[in-house]
Amino acid sequence: GAVVSQHPSRVICKSGTSVKIECRSLDFQATTMFWYRQFPKQSLMLMATSNEGSKATYEQGVEKDKFLINHASLTLSTLTVTSAHPEDSSFYICSARVGSSTDTQYFGPGTRLTVL
Amino acid sequence: AQSVTQLGSHVSVSEGALVLLRCNYSSSVPPYLFWYVQYPNQGLQLLLKYTTGATLVKGINGFEAEFKKSETSFHLTKPSAHMSDAAEYFCAVHSYNPGGKLIFGQGTELSVKP
C-alpha cells in the first residue's frame, strides 16, 4: 500500500516551453501533497505544500507564477513549470500524506527535467 | 523550530560490517523522526519512523534506529551491511508548523565495499 506515482519519469524540453508533471496517490486518498526539488548530491528542497481544493502554499523564494501547482482531487496533484529555462533542470519529487500533519509522507519516484 | 543534522556526508563500510549513520535533531517539542533511503534516480522510501512509545524502532531491510532524548539523537544502524544497502540516506524531523512539512538533513551517502 501507500504507492505514489509520478509521470513522466523523465522529460526533455526546449527553453521557453512549459512542462507538466503529475503526481498520483494510487491506493489512498491524499489530503496533502508536497513538491520537492533536488539538485545533484543535495538534500530535498521543499517547494510547496498542496491541499486538495485549495491554493498551494509556496516556500519562501519559490516563484508561484513559474511553478504552478494544482491539486484537483484527493489522488492527483500537478506541477507545471512555465517558460522553463536551463536553470530549472532538476529532479522533482512529490510526496503524499493521508491525513493529519503527523502522518507519514510517501514519496513518488521523481521526475528528471532537462531544459535545453 | 526543528532542525536535523546528519554527521558525515559520506560513510564507507565493508560488506558484512556494522552500518552506523548519525542523525541529531533539534526540537522544542517531542519530535516525530524519520529515516528515508534514496537509490540513484529514484524517490525516497521510508525505512522507519519514531513517533511515541518504544525508543528502539525497527524498520525494513534490517535497519533500526534508537531515539535518545538525552542525546537528541536518532542514529540508524544495521548489524551487517549488504552491497544493496549502498544508497543515500536522509534523516528527517516533522515540523509542527501549519502543514506539517518534513525538515530533512543533508543526507549521508553509504558506500559498501566488497
pLDDT value of residue B97: 65
* B45·A107 Cβ contact <8 A: yes
Mean pLDDT of A32-45: 90
Q: Verify cis geometry, omega within 30 degrees of 0, for the bond prior to A8.
A: yes
- Give the integer Cα–Cα distance in Å for A50 and A97: 10
- Distance (Å) from the alpha carbon of A5 to chain B's nearest alpha carbon: 10
Which residue of chain A has the CA closest to B10?
A41
C-alpha cell at A95: 510526496
Q: Do A100 and B51 touch (CB under 8 A)?
A: no
Supply the pLDDT for residue B58.
96
- CB-based contacts of B108, cutoff 8 Å, min separation 6: B6, B8, B9, B10, B11, B21, B22, B88, B89, B90
Nearest C-alpha in A relative to B49: A104
Q: What is the pLDDT of residues A82-96, one digit of tens each?
A: 999 999 999 999 999
Instruction: Please judge whether A112 and B99 are an interchain contact, meaning their C-beta atoms are less than 8 angstroms apart.
Output: no
Residue B94: the pLDDT is 85
Given this model, what pLDDT does residue A104 score?
84
Interface of A with B (CB under 8 A): 4, 6, 32, 34, 41-44, 46, 49, 57, 91, 93, 95, 97, 100-110, 112
Backbone angles phi, psi at B84, to 5 degrees: -70, -10
**Does pLDDT of A102 surpass 80?**
no
CA distance B77 to chain A (A): 20
Nearest to B45 by CA among A10, A46, A110, A91: A110
Per-residue model confidence (pLDDT) at position B88 = 96
Provide mean pLDDT across the span B46-73. Answer: 93
Q: Is the predicted pLDDT of residue B69 greater than 70, yes or no?
A: yes
Tens of pLDDT along B86-106?
Answer: 999 999 998 776 667 888 999
**Contact across the interface for A110 and B41, Cβ inside 8 Å:** yes
